[in-house]
Amino acid sequence: MSLVPVTDPSGLLERAPRLAELLPDAALSEALARGDAWAVHAVLLRRLEHEPPGPTRELLASQVEDRGAFVIAARPPSASSVLGTGVRWRGVPPRDAAPNAPFVAERTVTVLGVPVWPLEGYLVRADGKAPLQVIGQVPPSPGRSRRRAVSLAGVALGLCGLVGLGAVWLDARSMRAVTVVNGLSRPVDVRIGGEHWVVAPGTQEQGRVRMGDGPLHAVTTWPGQESVIEDVTLPVQGEHILYNVKGAAMLEAVPEEGVVSAGPYARSLPEIASVLQPGEQLSVQSAKWESAARLYAEEGRWQAAGRVASAVAEVEPGNTVAREMAARAWLFVDTQVPANLPADLRWRNTRDFAAMLMHTWQEDPAAQALALSLMRHIGQGAQARARYAEHAQQHPDSPLAALYLQRASPPDLGSADAVDAYSKLAVRFPDSPDVTRAWLEARWRFELEHPSDAGRGNDVGRPPYEVQTAELLKPFVEKHPPETLEALELDVRIFLRARLRDAATGLVRRYGQDPRRRTWDFLVLAGRTAEAAGPEHTSYVMRDWIPADLARHPARMLLLDLLTGQRSPKDAELAALASPEDRSMLRLTRDVLVDPKRALKEADGDPLVVLPRLDPEILALLALEFTRTGDAFGKRLFSVSLPLMLAREPLRNHVLSVSGVPGPDFHRLPPGLRAAATLVHARREAKEGYPVFTERLDGLARMDALGGFSVRAAGPWMRRAFDACMDTKVEQSLPQGILLRGDLVKEQARQEDDREGRRPNCEARIVRPTGLPLPRTAATTTP
């Protein structure tokens, strides 16, 4: 031990006498000599780091831990906090310490009572409930740096966690659940935000999309195409967004099971873009547009039915079903408008739909024909002609533009002037199949209206006019075979009118070789053509073209047999059908051909779900017969089919006219509807009280070479009139002043009761004017 005394000006050896056991130590002696207690503590800390295990290390550890021995004078610091956040004292006296004994405490930054950052350490004394009494400041604890590092890391991790939670919260706030429903007949490509779906027809897709700075858009295209068919701004007020492509599907929002706050009732969602409220779930009533439109129509919601069908007709090319359903719905909506309103207001929906067809489908002659029919029906044919004139002026080299203008302009079809006008158009556009076929149609209609005039101008030895038209058609169809069913029907009628049966059936066989063309309407046309041509001139078997799914449907097969004239279903076959609507529809169709009286009674009692399924020509026969007898039910029948709605005025005017001279609107009607009006018009009311025919009906077969319902029903309807004539007693009028007595009275009564005696009169009044053969047997009218 060194004999040199150690200098200790601060008296540290007195407060910690065991420090002397650590001497001699040059660094410790120098620190003691300076009187710096914290320097002594630092020397002890450095020596502790290198001291090997043993009594000396334990002594060093005990001295370093006794921080109160190294206290220095310091100003009492401030410590304040609010709700556990601020600067607070941290430390308590040892359990075995005497009362008011000093102890070491640290000032610490706390957040909500949690220490996050240690500050200085002080030697303090607690005096009951009074604030701590600060004696002096003590050196930092050996683990303060480590605790500060841990606190710093904890704060950093906490901040990162808060930032992450905030980002997650903001991300969740910017996300929206989306359901896309496609009720169209084709798949669609839908893009919403950064998400992309290809939605199949009649299905739905679900996902989540992120909102950006701008509004949320749903952009729909056909797969593989760039043209946009719909661009909709979606609502973002809710958490679940519904996007109904073109509004085609029928959707409802229904309350979730067990949820009362959303309301106990379902609410319809007719909008294209809507939001599900909390507690609601989506219910798809109809995922396909056609069934949705039919449901809306059956519920009387014609506005919704027209909206759905017209939306589909606007985007799907060639969808004739959508066009006709939309046209009928808008006509029905506009007919409910008061008649005293101006035409622009009364027919607003129909006019807008026709304008859409004109603008959207300029290359589709069928769409333009429907638009022109609608404009003429609402009395705006001049406006349509003006639009087509402007279109033709803008496209002077377009054959379709010139054809549309000619159709909308006089002269009307059926006249020689019309044939001349269309002939000049064919010379102007010789390479246009549409123009050439329109010229051939003008020739065909002219010959139908004026058979004698068309044949009178021929030179001796030249074939008849209808044969000349058919000969012009032959090379044309070889180069331009019909691509649509309407064109095929026109060509078949021209060939059958010229009695070129082999050419007609060969054209049908050529058209039907493509399985995609074997639709229901084509099968009806093929069956009627085969029936009209006969088996020896038919080069195909229509039954071989029937699809498997149709062959498994008994009601459709029975209806096909009826429409094509194959056979009539028996009562046992009808009774075996499961659907009462199918039974009623087939029975009514059959009775129009075999028992008109019973058919009229059945039609008056059938619901409106059956009548729209009837063939338009059958509906025309029933509606016109009710109209002829003054029954208001005929007006209702005219509203269940689009062809009848468009043809209502020309048909009624022809049936109710006395002269029977058809007008220009009547000439534009399809042959089947014209034949129905001709048949009903021929049945006039005689003064004796029974119906008679006052004009010849042999022109029916000429008018409808395909043998439609009116041609096939002429015999039964004539038999009914003949039987009514035979059963009606005709009182013989006597000159004034003559009174019969005795045997003369008996003879007169015998003549009135003599049914066979009335036969010559009935034949003269009914059979001979028709040009039809004498009925073999009386028609039965009992079920």
The burial class, CB within 10 Å (0-12 / 13-18 / 19+), for 231 is exposed
> Which residues have C-beta within 8 Å of that of residue 569, sequence separation ≥ 6?
558, 561, 562, 586, 590
> How many other CB atoms sit within 10 Å of the CB of residue 726?
19
Six token digits for residue 433 = 């199949």
φ, ψ at 541 (rounded to 5°): -115, 110
Distance of CA 580 to the CA centre of its chain: 29
The burial class, CB within 10 Å (0-12 / 13-18 / 19+), for 448 is buried
Backbone dihedral region for residue 100 (phi beyond 0: left; psi -120 to 50: alpha; all else: beta): left
498-502 contacts, C-beta under 8 A, 24 or more apart: 498/464, 498/466, 498/467, 498/469, 498/470, 500/467, 500/470, 501/532, 501/533, 501/534, 501/537, 501/538, 502/533, 502/537, 502/539
Six token digits for residue 606 = 């059938």
CA distance 758 to 730: 9
DSSP letters for 146-211: HHHHHHHHHHHHHHHHHHHHHHHHHHHHHEEEEEEEE-SSS-EEEEETTEEEEEPTTEEEEEEEE-
Residue at 679: amino acid letter: L
CA distance 484 to 348: 31
Q: Dihedral, CA atoms, 772, 774, 776, 778, nearest 10 degrees?
A: 90
Of 518, 527, 587, 578, the residue nearest 554 (C-alpha): 578
SS3 692: strand
Residue at 419: amino acid letter: V
- pLDDT at site 423: 96
Residues of the chain with pLDDT under 50: 1-4, 261-262, 457, 778-783
φ, ψ at 168 (rounded to 5°): -65, -40
CA distance 377 to 347: 10
CA distance 569 to 563: 11
> How many other CB atoms sit within 10 Å of the CB of residue 165?
10
Six token digits for residue 612 = 């729209």
- pLDDT at site 70: 75
CA distance 721 to 719: 5
Of 321, 710, 716, 708, the residue nearest 527 (C-alpha): 708
Asked whether the bond before 24 is cis by omega within 30 degrees of 0, the reply is yes
Task: Put the strands of the sheet holding 81-82 in their side by side order.
Answer: 81-82, 85-90, 103-111, 114-125, 133-138
Of 555, 546, 627, 565, the residue nearest 585 (C-alpha): 555
> How many other CB atoms sit within 10 Å of the CB of residue 579?
11
Backbone dihedral region for residue 84 (phi beyond 0: left; psi -120 to 50: alpha; all else: beta): left
> Which residues have C-beta within 8 Å of that of residue 22, sequence separation ≥ 6?
28, 44, 47, 56, 59, 60, 63
Kindly give the residue spans of alpha helices, DSSP state H, lying in 185-335.
Answer: 289-298, 302-315, 320-335
Residue at 16: amino acid letter: A
- pLDDT at site 782: 38
Integer-rounded Cα radius of gyration of the chain: 50
Per DSSP, 765 falls in state I
Crossing angle for the helix pair 37-50 and 26-34, nearest 10 degrees?
Answer: 160
- Antiparallel, parallel or unpaired: β 691-693 and 683-685: antiparallel
Q: Dihedral, CA atoms, 365, 371, 376, 381, nearest 10 degrees?
A: -80
Tokens 């302009």, residue located: 409
Element (H, E) at 496: helix 485-497
Nearest-5° angle of CA 152, CA 157, CA 161? 150
Burial 184-199 (b: 16+ CB within 10 A, else e): bbebbbbebbeeebeb
Tokens 């050996």, residue located: 142
CA distance 247 to 327: 17
The burial class, CB within 10 Å (0-12 / 13-18 / 19+), for 143 is exposed
CA distance 228 to 248: 17
